Structure 1
């Protein structure tokens, strides 16, 4: 399989291209988020759009996506390292055929139950126009339902490409999706900006032109992303064929692992359902504010940490399959060290600059001051938990590469249970800020639990080395955050070009503070240094 995986230099180039593609994808994703706020605002229409557009992703993860993402790469790395070439492609073809068949059935069922899904999200919504909102959301979801199939094919293609260390195309493919979505939203804004919120809602609820534009345009972007991934697979010489073979050993192993995996994916989706339902019932714009801030929250991880962990995941699976536990721990330590260390400065920036970030990126067009404030408060709470989020995902990926689905289930179960309990308690007193704070606390606590469990299994990264490097990067980050906050308070509020200047000044002075502390012996060198391999 060497011709498919490539040599070390090729794999490094692929990993570098993935990092570049991920950055561009995330930037265009940010522009897409800004376009949603610009065209739809942060109120009822955007809430309906976000609920409907997120539903295919949610139920794809629940039914198939979570299982594939957690099992296919480790299983196929194991298979490809021990089987002849033709046996590998038989296994790959069997997995692909079975999964595509399941996707077709799941998409048809999803289309049929769209009404039930939307009614579930609106359980806590008691607005006077609730029925109209529900009709609009159901109409949009029927257009968005095929996305479940497209996301499934994207997931299969990405997993197969990553198995053979081809990381670049899956990282670049979302750019096309984002561009189509931005164009759709721009057409929406210029064509229908004169309509009131009530008129837009009526058009969506009654099958008007707004519905067709948003429905077809948004789904077309996902379809294009899917086509790009399929084209990349064809160009890599993948010898896939239709093979419906439930008795294939690889299919059996994925089935064996999928029981626990389905359990923790279900826990994730139940938690997300509760979060969105609580937000929908709290106040108009809460769903969009939480959704927007969560996308900001994931942005640093997607740009920096995801590329690091995605690149080493196949290697971790290979080390574990060959019983090279020392190499497994060393590489997991390096991945966790770098990914979390890259997130700590972003945490400081989010906590101190959230309102300015949201204002400059989302404060345009139909976006209101109330929506901007809701989003910025939510981002502060999420920013506090960004390092914990990165540590949690790094450790979970370690478990997944070792095919420890049972442990992953219980860790996710605890995280989601804690998240739901905290969200119910905090939202009534703190609104969307409390909702977001529950996410930060639950991820951070669960990261500690994951580290304890992994250590008992003798699979953990070298924790002293990790804590040492994280603390040393946290010190200059804290200094940067303090300087940014002081300068921000001194300069005061602003908007437009003046706000851009203020942000630039704050970041420059904050960076100087960061660099000054690093010069005293803290920070950057600890990110890449291997550190002591002690427990």
Structure 2
């Protein structure tokens, strides 16, 4: 892209296009609708899980093992990608050009998949290390069976860590382009796959070897599908992939440095969750599964309204910050606050 072309494209973006750029209210409404569908299918998923597994030690082993990939992803890359990737991508796009922004996105994607892939491989080979962090308060008489089942599940679930990392980059790119529908609908497809899996497990028998394998594979397949459905929309948005790590990219180094406070917060949160699960096991072998069912209800209002609004507002604030447009930044912030009221 020429300097003149880059300047023109930045000027066009800074002036704004009310037709091509949806408002915060419309973006929030779109995501809230999709998120409501996600939450509805999420409740059906919870019911199907309770139908297939109940509130049992098996359900606790499954839920703990299935939650660890999310925790590891958040520790290694989640905070960085969710809070810093979009602002940095939009800043590069506004201050340089599209080509540099897409190169940066490729570097982040490649580094995320590589780092998380290494962690996932370690999880497959040494699942007991991860499972212990959630079960260290288990009574001695129950520890062997519950940990053994959880370790079996985690050997399958560890690959989810890679899907979360690559999928988060794709989701960020779609959000940066105001393409919110498929990022919000992804969890719906995940829920549908897991619902089908749970009914299959209930038919086969949850405690049989075949049932355990179907449960492990089906749950991991759901996470893969959740992010795979975003690929066609990303291609329509004009993806430009570069197979480079970009270790010398100053934007990567800057993003990692800015991530230090986020990592500290994530570590403290994960420690709290580990103690929560371990303490739940100390009370009863089905403690974590009971917590999971209750947490699903607790998250409903936040998931439908707050997440959708925060995603839309964050994208607009990030672009305004990238342009150093304090007036637009203030307008978007006020608009978001008014919407919450």
Q: TM-score, normalised by structure 1?
A: 0.58
Q: Deviations over 1:377-414 (max 9, x none)?
A: xxxxxxxxxxxxxxxxxxxxxxxxxxxxxxxxxxxxxx
**Distance change in 2, residues 1:15/1:335 (3 Å):** closer
Question: Unaligned regions of 5+ residues in structure 2, if any?
Answer: 1-8
State the alpha-carbon separation in 2 of the partners of residues 85 and 93 from structure 1. 12
State the alpha-carbon separation in 2 of the partners of residues 8 and 298 from structure 1. 33
Task: Indicate conservation of the 8 Å contact 1:28/1:178, yes or no.
Answer: yes
How much does 1:258 deviate? 2.1
1:98 and 2:111 are equivalent in the alignment: yes
State the alpha-carbon separation in 2 of the partners of residues 224 and 184 from structure 1. 13
How much does 1:112 deviate? 2.5
Q: Deviations over 1:240-267 (max 9, x none)?
A: 2212211223212212212222221111
Q: Deviations over 1:107-143 (max 9, x none)?
A: 1122233111112322111163321111111001111
Task: Indicate conservation of the 8 Å contact 1:11/1:166, yes or no.
Answer: no
Q: Matches of residues 462-481 of structure 1 in structure 2 within 5 Å? A: none
Q: Matches of residues 225-236 of structure 1 in structure 2 within 5 Å? A: 225-236=226-237
How much does 1:155 deviate? 0.7
Q: Matches of residues 496-511 of structure 1 in structure 2 within 5 Å? A: none
State the alpha-carbon separation in 2 of the partners of residues 264 and 156 from structure 1. 21
Match of 1:255 in 2: 256
Match of 1:300 in 2: 301
Task: Indicate conservation of the 8 Å contact 2:92/2:322, yes or no.
Answer: no
Task: Indicate conservation of the 8 Å contact 1:95/1:250, yes or no.
Answer: no
State the alpha-carbon separation in 2 of the partners of residues 166 and 214 from structure 1. 32
**Distance change in 2, residues 1:47/1:253 (3 Å):** same
Aligned pair count reads 328
State the alpha-carbon separation in 2 of the partners of residues 97 and 63 from structure 1. 14
| Deviation larger for 93-102 or 159-168 | 93-102
Match of 1:221 in 2: 222
Match of 2:5 in 1: none
- Pick the structure with greater CA Rg: 1
* Higher relative contact order, chain-length normalized (CA < 8 Å, sep 6+): 2
Match of 2:85 in 1: 72
State the alpha-carbon separation in 1 of the partners of residues 176 and 250 from structure 2. 17
How much does 1:149 deviate? 0.7
Q: Deviations over 1:250-285 (max 9, x none)?
A: 212212212222221111111111111111111232
**Distance change in 2, residues 1:9/1:27 (3 Å):** farther
Match of 2:19 in 1: 9
1:118 and 2:131 are equivalent in the alignment: yes
State the alpha-carbon separation in 2 of the partners of residues 247 and 163 from structure 1. 24
State the alpha-carbon separation in 1 of the partners of residues 39 and 21 from structure 2. 22
Q: Deviations over 1:165-191 (max 9, x none)?
A: 211111011111110100010111123
Match of 2:3 in 1: none
Match of 1:243 in 2: 244
The 3-state SS of whatever aligns with 2:141 is: coil
Match of 1:368 in 2: none
Task: Indicate conservation of the 8 Å contact 1:100/1:153, yes or no.
Answer: yes
Match of 1:331 in 2: 332
The 3-state SS of whatever aligns with 1:98 is: helix
State the alpha-carbon separation in 2 of the partners of residues 336 and 268 from structure 1. 26
Task: Indicate conservation of the 8 Å contact 2:45/2:195, yes or no.
Answer: yes
Match of 2:36 in 1: 23
Q: Deviations over 1:339-360 (max 9, x none)?
A: 4xxxxxxxxxxxxxxxxxxxxx
Q: For the aligned residues, what is the CA RMSD?
A: 2.3
Match of 1:378 in 2: none
How much does 1:52 deviate? 0.7
Question: Unaligned regions of 5+ residues in structure 1, if any?
Answer: 194-199, 340-526, 528-535
